[in-house]
Amino acid sequence: MRVLAIESTCDETGACLAERTGDGVRIIAETKASEAEVTAKYGGVVPEVVAREQVAAIIPVLEELWYSVTESQRHVDAVAVSYGPGLIGSLLIGVETAKALAWAWEKPLLKVNHLVAHVFANWIREEVPELPAVALIVSGGHTDLVLLKSLAEWRWIGGTRDDAVGEAFDKVARVMGLPYPGGPQIQVLSDKAKGESKIKLPRPMINDKSLEMSFSGLKTAVAQQAAAGADKVELAHEFNQAAVEVLVAKTGRAVEVFSPKSVILAGGVAANKLLREQLAVASGQWSVELSVPEFKYCTDNAAMIAAAALMRPVEAEILNLRPEPTLAVE
Ligand code: KG4
Ligand code: ZN
């Protein structure tokens, strides 16, 4: 089984050709046009601006993919597309393009939930995570804990009640005058810190037994400290530490309740070094395997859309597929 997958939910326009190999997924070729430069200029994602760029990018991205492979590799069994959650203007471009291709080629159209795809970034390899697993999805728009009983049967078990953790990273960076996306910037600044930070920030809901999280109060606490003239390096370090501690504690709570075989990290914030390190240490203590995506498959990409379509195919009626901007994990 081989698919052509398209990702265009936010500020990325990506395409990928991939196939199933045993238990995992092998990438044949991938291309992308990131609108991150435009986004950085505006200090964040401006939906209308990004969508206009994507209209211009989608065909060149697909052409580049097609001509980067040999002629014998140019066949697909299905077309896959991420249909939500995301920005409506961005989603429309990917969805309509995928519909046109599936229709013209007379191939099935597979619809992919973008959050589910972040988790399947962990299947782009030969050694795949053992199930049941607890997945921590941490992106710019979402922070969710999901129980994967099998490849097909998933259950949402917890998450943030307000801001997503990635959104908190982005907003904290902005109040510190750093460019978008904020996560990597905060990490670089945080790495410059020496010794214990004198700044103390809250760890919201860390001792609460539920699997609920909250990051808006933490973000506000940083904004107040920044306005009071706190040292930026120390502030970034303490914020990074506080966010990671909460994520690790809540994942630990989920492990305690559901006794999975593995913990799966997914989403843009999965690129965070401290989070990867701390989860690795904790997973050892919890006696579970930890699976983290390759760095380049943490943030949005079309390879993970292909992986989800190959591992958990969901067929759509070609002419009836519509973008779903507020889709949840399912
Ligand atoms: O998954 P993603 O690419 O897009 C969404 O689906 O939302 O996630 C983007 C988010 C941004 O908020 C960005 O700041 C964050 O991932 N991010 C990081 C790091 N790299 C990206 N956050 C913390 N540390 C990082 N190293
Ligand atoms: Zn994403």
Calpha distance 262→129 (Å, rounded): 7
Res 115: pLDDT: 98
With a 6 Å cutoff on the Cβ, whether 170 touches ligand 1 is yes
Residue 30, phi then psi, degrees to nearest 5: -150, 145
Most ligand 1 atoms within 8 A of CB, residue of 277, 299, 327 to mutate: 299
In whole angstroms, what is the distance from residue 5 CA to residue 138 CA? 22
Output the residue whose Cα is nearest ligand 1's atom 16: 268
Distance 268 CA to ligand 2 centre (A): 6
- Residue to substitute in 12, 139, 178, 246 for testing ligand 1 pocket (most ligand atoms within 8 angstroms of CB): 139
| Distances in whole angstroms, Cα of residue 286 to Cα of each of 258, 289, 292 | 12, 9, 16
Residue 330 is predicted with a pLDDT of 83
Q: Residue 201's CB: how many other CB atoms inside 10 A?
A: 20
Instruction: Please give the Cα distance from 7 to 120 (Å, whole number).
Output: 14
d(CA 122, CA 152) in angstroms, rounded, equals 15
Mutate to test the pocket of ligand 1, among 8, 136, 137, 169 (most ligand atoms within 8 A of CB): 169
Q: Which residue has the tokens 């996560």?
A: 183
Measuring from atom 14 of ligand 1, which residue has the nearest CA?
183
Helix (H, G, I), strand (E, B) or coil at 45: coil
What pLDDT score was predicted for residue 38?
A: 73
Do residues 243 and 165 touch, judged by C-beta distance below 8 A? yes
Establish whether residue 240 lines the binding site of ligand 1, counting it when its CB lies within 6 angstroms of any ligand atom. Answer: no
CA-based nearest residue to 151, from 121, 137, 181, 130: 130
Residue 42, burial from CB neighbour count under 10 angstroms (0-12, 13-18, 19+):
exposed
Is the Cβ atom of 271 under 6 angstroms away from ligand 1?
yes
Tens-digit pLDDT string for the chain (330 aa): 999 999 999 989 999 999 999 999 999 999 999 777 777 778 888 999 999 999 999 999 999 999 999 999 999 999 999 999 999 999 999 999 999 999 999 999 999 999 999 999 999 999 999 999 999 999 999 999 999 999 999 999 999 999 999 999 999 999 999 998 999 999 999 999 988 788 999 999 999 999 999 999 999 999 999 999 999 999 999 999 999 999 999 999 999 999 999 999 999 999 999 999 999 999 999 999 999 999 999 999 999 999 999 999 999 999 999 999 999 998
Distance CA 326, CA 104 (A): 29
Neighbours of 284 (CB within 10 A): 11
Instruction: Please report the atom of ligand 1 found closest to the CA of residue 299.
Output: 3
Given a contact cutoff of 8 angstroms between Cβ atoms, the answer to whether 321 and 293 are in contact is: no
Name the residue with the closest Cα to ligand 1, atom 22: 183
Q: How high is the pLDDT of residue 35?
A: 72
Nearest to 294 by CA among 133, 118, 86: 118
Question: Is the CB of residue 187 below 6 angstroms from any atom belonging to ligand 1?
Answer: yes
> Given this model, what pLDDT does residue 225 score?
96
- The count of residues in the chain is 330
Instruction: Give the distance (Å) from ligand 1 centre to CA of residue 77.
Output: 32
